[in-house]
Amino acid sequence: GENVEQHPSTLSVQEGDSAVIKCTYSDSASNYFPWYKQELGKGPQLIIDIRSNVGEKKDQRIAVTLNKTAKHFSLHITETQPEDSAVYFCAASRGSTLGRLYFGRGTQLTVWP
Amino acid sequence: DGGITQSPKYLFRKEGQNVTLSCEQNLNHDAMYWYRQDPGQGLRLIYYSQIVNDFQKGDIAEGYSVSREKKESFPLTVTSAQKNPTAFYLCASHPRGYTEAFFGQGTRLTVV
């Protein structure tokens, strides 16, 4: 099956700085890569996703990049704010009707005011 | 409001007892999933179902059972055979042909 590695496991940044979280995957058939944000005691929420026919996608302060050759994708958050503090998960899927996601272990992001 | 509802939010059980976690969705989604979350472990798939009356084991199905008698409902039973049941359990769903998964708010199960 697919194996998704995520780094770092914890990340602390000052408010206004950028944060980058990186993931690698093993299954070359994976073609859908979502990122989820999970606040304490809540379920994960999709914040951005990318498909393999696209190299980069941006949504305001959040961007995701994908390198299919190297099998890695990254989440970039610019101008971080304290409310960005949460656990972030990357995931990979073959994008078929099966739809099951393989998750990384998560990154605890802390943004200090 | 459409969404996925998990209940209860917190659940306490004595060791050796079976317990059932509820997951209901009114999004008309075909596929439903159960994940288990432990600190530092990410989300691990327990069971999933793509249509009514059909379900498959995920990566850590031992000690768990599910049913899918209705499209809206996918309850998870944690049996006494599950050796370490204390965890945060998440239910998710998505429509047929799409992979964007929507999650419930989770149930934190504590077995004492």
Is the CB of B40 less than 8 angstroms away from the CB of A32? no
Q: pLDDT band at B2, cuts 50/70/90? A: low
Percentage with pLDDT > 90 across chain A: 81
Question: A101, A102, A105, A108: best mutation site toward chain B, by most B Cβ within 10 Å?
Answer: A101
Q: What is the pLDDT of residue A96?
A: 63
Give residue B19's pLDDT: 95
Give the tens place of pLDDT for each residue, A64-79.
999 999 999 999 999 9
For chain B, what percent of residues have pLDDT higher than 90? 79
Pick from B35, B41, B92: CB nearest A105: B41
Q: What is the pLDDT of residue A54?
A: 79
Instruction: Check CB contact of A113 with chain B, cutoff 8 Å.
Output: no
Question: Across the interface, do A100 and B50 touch by the CB < 8 Å criterion?
Answer: no
Which chain B residue lies closest to A37 (C-alpha atoms)? Answer: B103
A97 pLDDT band, cuts 50/70/90, is low
How many Cβ contacts (< 8 angstroms) between chains A and B?
62
> For the segment B4-25, what is each residue's pLDDT rounded down to a tens digit?
999 999 999 998 899 999 999 9
Q: Chain B, 67-86: which have a CB under 8 Å from a chain A CB?
A: none
| Half-sphere exposure in the Cβ direction for B65 (13 Å, CA) | 8
Q: Is the dihedral of CA A90, A93, A98, A100 positive or negative?
A: negative
Which residues from chain A sit within 8 angstroms of residue B103, using beta carbons? 36, 43-45
Distance (Å) from the C-alpha of residue A96 to the closest C-alpha of chain B?
7
Span B70-93, average pLDDT: 94
Q: Are A84 and A19 in contact (CB under 8 A)?
A: yes
DSSP string, B49-93: EEETTEEEE-SS-TTEEE--SBTTB--EEE-TT-S---EEEEEEE
> Does residue A21 have a pLDDT over 90?
yes
- Which chain A residues have a beta carbon less than 8 Å from that of B50? 97-98
**Looking at the partner chain, which of B40, B59, B99 has a beta carbon nearest the beta carbon of A95?**
B99
Q: What is the mean pLDDT of chain B?
A: 92
Mean pLDDT on A84-91:
97
pLDDT for res A88: 97
The answer to whether B112 and B14 are in contact (CB under 8 A) is yes
**Between A102 and A110, the higher pLDDT residue:** A110
Contact B43 A103 (CB under 8 A): yes
Quote the pLDDT of residue B33. 95
* Stretch B63-75: mean pLDDT: 97
**Chain A contacts of B48, Cβ < 8 Å?**
100
Average the pLDDT over B35-50 and give the result.
Answer: 91
Measured between CA atoms, the residue of chain B closest to residue A96 is: B97
In this predicted structure, what is the pLDDT of residue A52? 82
**A13 in Cβ contact with A20 (< 8 Å):** no
Q: Residue B101 pLDDT > 90, yes or no?
A: no
CA pair distance A50, B94, nearest whole angstrom: 17
What would the two tokens of residue B33 be? 């999933």
